[in-house]
Amino acid sequence: MQDGLGWIGLGRMGEAMVKRLLSGDHAVKVWNRTAAKAEPLAQYGARVVPSKEDLAGCDVVFTMVSTTDDLKEVLFAVGGLVAGSVKPRVVVDCSSISLEGSAEIRARLEALGVAYLCTPVSGNAKVAKAGKLLMVSSGPKTLFDRVEPYLQAMARKVLWVGEGELARVWKIAHNTMFGVVIQNLCEITVLAEKAGIPRHVFLESINESVLGSMYTRYKTPVLSNLNFDQVTFTPRLLLKDMDLGMATAKGLGVSMPAAAATRESVARMVGRGHDQVDFAVLLVEIARDAGLELRPENVQISDGLES
């Protein structure tokens, strides 16, 4: 047995996920490019290390970074996790990355004798903090069985969908719907408000209808109160996911007209300069297109995650 668990990437998601592992009594060594984000985890019991190479002796290393290129960089670039002579046994990547990038990473890791499990997740940082993520894996089933107890410490539900990169397809499909649903939810909310229905009342009606979901409930407070500075997921990350969806559809010969229209709308939001804000700012852009200036409603509404 090598030296426990390692973690690379302590952004919104990584930080919340590591805290679940730590509170499940797992010893974790952590590294983040911006060291200031890693240091506070020491008080939760994490061992903060100054370089990725310090995690190379770990049995299992989790990664949660932004894009395919970022994952390649933390693994293979100079000073990367597997660039030295000591290597971890297993890498479990939880980032949302491309199918092709993931397959290339698998081939490179396996050639180095490092096993690889893709485990993208559904749920934002607040969901992760509550231990309510959905985690979906693909790769060797025996490997999944081995790391499942760690996944269970972070999730309400853990699933294995098959070999290879299938979990990437799952996540890409999932996040394509994530984009299409917010696009349509914003469109119909603007329609209702322009006609005279207060936003929070309209959103509550959707939440109570057959169309309501955990997702529509999570987004109701921000869509009502317009507090986009409480970031769950950025416009740029959503654009990355819509692009992954469109590229995968093209590769498989699948027509996705609703996703294509949403991709353009999200690209326009990013192009208009929305950056370090919540992606729900899409509502403001759709309202502007309708000649509607929105105001915060300043209402107390639960996102369903408080209990």
Ligand X SMILES: NC(=O)c1ccc[n+]([C@@H]2O[C@H](COP(=O)([O-])OP(=O)(O)OC[C@H]3O[C@@H](n4cnc5c(N)ncnc54)[C@H](OP(=O)(O)O)[C@@H]3O)[C@@H](O)[C@H]2O)c1
Q: Contact positions toward ligand X, by CB under 6 A?
A: 9-14, 32-34, 37, 64-66, 70, 73-74, 95-96, 121, 124-125, 232-233, 237
User: Which residue's CB is nearer to ligand X, number 44 or number 299?
Assistant: 44
Minimum CB separation from ligand X for residue 233, in Å? 4
Minimum CB separation from ligand X for residue 201, in Å? 27
Minimum CB separation from ligand X for residue 84, in Å? 17
* 134 vs 256: CA distance, rounded Å: 25
Minimum CB separation from ligand X for residue 298, in Å? 24
Q: Pairing state of beta strands 28-31 and 47-48?
A: parallel
* Distance in Å from the first CA to the final CA of the chain: 39
3-class DSSP state of 121? strand
Minimum CB separation from ligand X for residue 245, in Å? 12
Hunting for tokens 């199918």 — which residue is that? Answer: 99
Number of helices followed by number of strands (H, E) in the chain: 12, 9
User: Which residue's CB is nearer to ligand X, number 202 or number 228?
Assistant: 228
Q: Which residue is nearest to ligand X (CB)?
A: 11
User: Which residue's CB is nearer to ligand X, number 70 or number 285?
Assistant: 70
User: Which residue's CB is nearer to ligand X, number 73 or number 148?
Assistant: 73
> What element of type H or E holds 264?
helix 257-271
User: Which residue's CB is nearer to ligand X, number 190 or number 235?
Assistant: 235
Q: Which structure tokens are listed for 291?
A: 């000649």
- What is the CA angle 53-55-61, rounded to 5? 130
